[in-house]
Chain A
Amino acid sequence: MSKTLPAVDVAIIGGGWTGSVIGKELAAAKQRVVVLERGEPRWPSPDFQAPTVHDELKYVRRHALHQNTATETFTFRNNPQQKALPMRRWQFAYPATHLGGAGSHWSGAYYRFDPTDFKIRSHYNNRYGAKIFDEDLTAQDWPLSYDELEPYFDRFDYLIGASGYAGNLKGQLQPGGNPFEPWRSRPYPNPPMKVPYAPALFGEAAAKLGYHPYVQPSALVTRPYINSEGLPMSACVYCGFCSNFGCEHFAKASPQVCVLPVAMKLPDFELRTGTHVLRVELTPDGKHARGVTYVDAAGEEVFQPANIVVLSAFSINNVRLLLLSKIGKPFDPATNTGVVGRNYTHQTTSGVNLFFEESFNINPFMGAGAVAVTMDDFSADNFDHGPHGFVGGGYLQIQVVSGAPISYHPTPRGTPGWGSEWKQAVRRYYNHSASITITGSAMPTRNSYLSLDPTYKDAWGQPLLRITYDLPDNDIRMSAFLTERGDQIGKAMRGVTLTEPGPRKRPFTATSYQSTHLTGGAAIGADPATSVVNRAGQCWDVPNVFVTGAALFPQNSGYNPTGTVGATAYWIAERILKDYLAAPGKLVQT
């Protein structure tokens, strides 16, 4: 028997980027909001202060800010014929827990999706004909365009203090900027990051080959900045402890730095940590949410009634909550019916390892999560796909994220993994290596989807989320193409003596880190037969439940998700405020 609390207007599940942004917007409009965060409160001061935060063992190897696999993980299989088994420890991605979520331990690579990402099916059909899509691909258009979302991208830019140099201001290309950048209404609020050695060498070689390298935009501010909420941020100091770490300097944008301090001063906003939500409770007809049931830090079940429920947990954990709450019809690949869990994808990453002459001191420890020189010549539809026969693309870059040596001590292939010969090689190459990172789009297929696992359960006795995923031929061809281009650039770089291209191969494996960009499963769309939510982020079947974050992506772009996650959060907040509260009910008629 659970305890029932007084009702609120809005219950938000998850204290990461989308929950914090939407919570603040709604509470500022006098909605009584409670944000339910399963983790503990974590703040830049005192939790992330130096020197103790500069601890690779704790934050990278022991997963201090990652979801604890002991209590909740995913199961995985490559196809529906296999039996899924649990990921007993994290390797392939680092979903988060604790306040701020993955928005606290992220790298800060900051992009907007390309305009063609939002109309992928129709755009490629128009330019190349429908045959460009392999039959197994289920890629589909968004019900929103880039132009519609631009004002919301802009808002998020100024919330997080984005750093970069505009390549396209209101349609006017800017000299020195990324010529492939989608148009933007305002410049970045802060200038670009400094450029370390290896990215500079990459940019030099890429330019020589006729490409268009630029300094990657970043969510780490480059000078003292007061953000759009009036909150102060400080300049990044390139300490090299960024991805997987909280930022000690108020330099890396996070919900804690950029929005929560303002939200928490609002009388109608409450942050409740240590609350693990089990499910959304529906009325008996299944058409209306009554609130949410969670387990508090002491283990007691609590029912929190609410007029509106917003799912803002880590991307695909939102899909799990939908399935556990019986909201929307689960996708079934056998019959190709249902929608929840459909169009799950990851990110098709690959790389080229580079080894340099000993006179090139790379200093890999001088870096940050998002300090890079990038090129978009093979991103999105910036090149002619006709001769290559695949959909999508990716960016190539050298970024200097971390030189922390438990994880980073590269040696050329063929070097023994231990003993004196290894020792010699690791000493020779540690400061004379880099790698070209390739971040590619991921196309969905009928047999890659999310569902509840029939066998394995979490610490609260609920089924784990089951990931069924393998890379489609389309993405394998794309990865081979992009990685070959990367290898050509690597070979053209000054000082490079050896390149090791590593295109993504099948089968997809859960045993190596690829990215934490787990997307889809609650696709946003115009058709209830192929999407979970309408263009307002509202569930087709339960109109007082909204879904946010990367679970909405019908397929994954080659660009990192957080910019688009932030923009859609502002968009959905506005749809709730302006549209839903004015006339509660279905915002899109079917």
Chain B
Amino acid sequence: MDAIASRLIPNDDLGPGAKEAGVTFFLDQQLAGGWGTGDHFYRQAPFEAGTPEQGYQLSFTPAQMFRLGLGKLDEASRSASKKGFAELSPADQDAMLKRMQAGELDFSPLPSAVFFQALLDGTMEGFFSDPIYGGNSGMAGWTLVGFPGAYASYANDIDRHGVAWTRPPVSIADAHAHGAAGEAHP
């Protein structure tokens, strides 16, 4: 997962990538928790393919999909080049991820494009969610785009048009409750 995260959001001169931001750790926790086991996932049979407009119709919970999909990706890598995915060069990893995204890899019974989308969604969630969930470490994702995080109020800023926001982001863990000390502007 670290190897995949490093390609989806690489560590480069713009700042830390998904691996450095703890996305793997985030996903481990999410997949082991309620969401991973399908606490908000309607799972009654029959499972039928349906039309694209009817959306996701597979029976995998997120945890099942990741377990199966990560294994299949490594298998596909080994059968093609005798190396695990993590041992491939970045260029070869990207090529494989692109084939997965296009649905060209055979992960049956799991469509590889569906798994790719789950990986990408999970990576974005881990990169941009509050650090209390173990990802977005050091607020790397928020710093990249300039999102201030769990900041309490913009009542005095919203109609100051076009003024760049320069204060560092704030996570839930270190934000003050509204009205508490520390909210005044510098």
Chain A residues near B (Cβ < 8 Å): 49-52, 54-57, 61-63, 68-70, 73, 76-78, 82-91, 194-197, 200, 235-240, 248-249, 359-361, 363, 365-367, 371, 403-406, 409, 417-420, 422-424, 426-427, 430-431, 455-457, 507-511
A510 in contact with B53 (CB, 8 Å): yes
Q: A238 touches which one: B9, B144, B155, B165 (CB < 8 A)?
A: B155
User: Which residues of A have CB within 8 Å of B159?
Assistant: 194-196
| Interface: B176 (CB within 8 A) | yes
What is the interface of chain B mostly: helix, strand, loop, or mixed?
loop
Min CB gap A152→B, angstroms = 32
Min CB gap A60→B, angstroms = 10
- Chain B 148-164 near chain A by CB (<8 Å), digits 1 or 0: 11111111011101111
B50 in contact with A509 (CB, 8 Å): no
User: Which residues of B have CB within 8 Å of A420?
Assistant: 10, 12, 14
User: Which residues of B have CB within 8 Å of A235?
Assistant: 155
Residue of B nearest to A455 (CB): B46
Min CB gap B46→A, angstroms = 7
User: Which residues of B have CB within 8 Å of A427?
Assistant: 14, 144-145
B94 in contact with A419 (CB, 8 Å): yes
A-B contact pairs, 22 of them (CB 8 A): A50-B152, A50-B175, A57-B125, A63-B40, A85-B57, A86-B44, A87-B54, A88-B42, A196-B159, A237-B152, A360-B162, A361-B164, A363-B157, A363-B163, A365-B151, A406-B125, A409-B124, A417-B101, A418-B8, A418-B9, A431-B165, A511-B52
Stretch from B71-79, B80-88, B102-110, B126-134 contacting the other chain: B126-134
B35 in contact with A62 (CB, 8 Å): yes
Report how far A235 CA is from B101 CA in the complex, Å. Answer: 47
B145 in contact with A405 (CB, 8 Å): yes
Contact A237 B53, CB 8 Å, known A365-B147, A406-B124: no
A409 in contact with B128 (CB, 8 Å): yes
Report how far A456 CA is from B45 CA in the complex, Å. Answer: 8
Q: A366 touches which one: B51, B94, B149, B157 (CB < 8 A)?
A: B157
What is the interface of chain A mostly: helix, strand, loop, or mixed?
loop
A423 in contact with B144 (CB, 8 Å): yes
A69 in contact with B41 (CB, 8 Å): yes
Residue of B nearest to A69 (CB): B42
Min CB gap B5→A, angstroms = 10
The tally of residues in B whose CB lies under 8 Å from a CB in A reads: 66
List B residues 40-66 near A (Cβ within 8 Å). Answer: 40-44, 46, 48, 50-57
A88 in contact with B56 (CB, 8 Å): yes
Min CB gap A314→B, angstroms = 16
B151 in contact with A239 (CB, 8 Å): yes
Q: B10 touches which one: A50, A365, A419 (CB < 8 A)?
A: A419
Report how far A423 CA is from B145 CA in the complex, Å. Answer: 9
| Interface: B172 (CB within 8 A) | yes
Residue of A nearest to B135 (CB): A57
A417 in contact with B120 (CB, 8 Å): yes
Report how far A420 CA is from B153 CA in the complex, Å. Answer: 33
A91 in contact with B55 (CB, 8 Å): yes
The 5 closest A-B pairs by CB, nearest first: A51-B175, A430-B145, A237-B153, A54-B150, A366-B154
Residue of A nearest to B144 (CB): A427
| Interface: B141 (CB within 8 A) | yes
User: Which residues of A have CB within 8 Å of B162?
Assistant: 197, 359-361
Besides the known contacts A366-B158, A405-B145, 11 further A-B residue pairs in the complex with CB atoms under 8 A apart = A50-B150, A55-B150, A70-B39, A83-B48, A85-B54, A196-B161, A200-B161, A237-B152, A237-B153, A363-B157, A431-B145
A237 in contact with B124 (CB, 8 Å): no
Q: B129 touches which one: A49, A76, A406 (CB < 8 A)?
A: A406
User: Which residues of B have CB within 8 Å of A85?
Assistant: 48, 50, 54-55, 57
| Interface: B32 (CB within 8 A) | no
Report how far A86 CA is from B56 CA in the complex, Å. Answer: 9
A405 in contact with B44 (CB, 8 Å): no
Q: B55 touches which one: A240, A366, A455, A510 (CB < 8 A)?
A: A510
User: Which residues of A have CB within 8 Å of B97?
Assistant: 418
User: Which residues of B have CB within 8 Å of A249?
Assistant: 178
A89 in contact with B130 (CB, 8 Å): no
Residue of A nearest to B152 (CB): A50
User: Which residues of B have CB within 8 Å of A238?
Assistant: 153-155, 157-158
Contact A240 B44, CB 8 Å, known A51-B172, A405-B141, A420-B12: no
Min CB gap B20→A, angstroms = 12
B52 in contact with A423 (CB, 8 Å): no
Q: B154 touches which one: A57, A89, A200, A237 (CB < 8 A)?
A: A237
Residue of A nearest to B54 (CB): A85
Report how far A80 CA is from B147 CA in the complex, Å. Answer: 45
Contact A418 B152, CB 8 Å, known A57-B133, A89-B41: no
Min CB gap A191→B, angstroms = 13
Report how far A430 CA is from B141 CA in the complex, Å. Answer: 12
Q: A51 touches which one: B34, B129, B177 (CB < 8 A)?
A: B177
User: Which residues of B have CB within 8 Å of A56?
Assistant: 128-130
| Interface: B142 (CB within 8 A) | yes
User: Which residues of B have CB within 8 Å of A511?
Assistant: 52-55
Q: B8 touches which one: A54, A194, A419 (CB < 8 A)?
A: A419
Min CB gap A372→B, angstroms = 12
| Interface: B7 (CB within 8 A) | yes
Report how far A73 CA is from B42 CA in the complex, Å. Answer: 7
Contact A87 B155, CB 8 Å, known A56-B130, A409-B145: no
Residue of A nearest to B133 (CB): A57
B14 in contact with A423 (CB, 8 Å): yes
Contact A509 B42, CB 8 Å, known A237-B153, A427-B144: no
Report how far A456 CA is from B130 CA in the complex, Å. Answer: 36
Min CB gap A359→B, angstroms = 8
Min CB gap A336→B, angstroms = 25
A51 in contact with B128 (CB, 8 Å): no
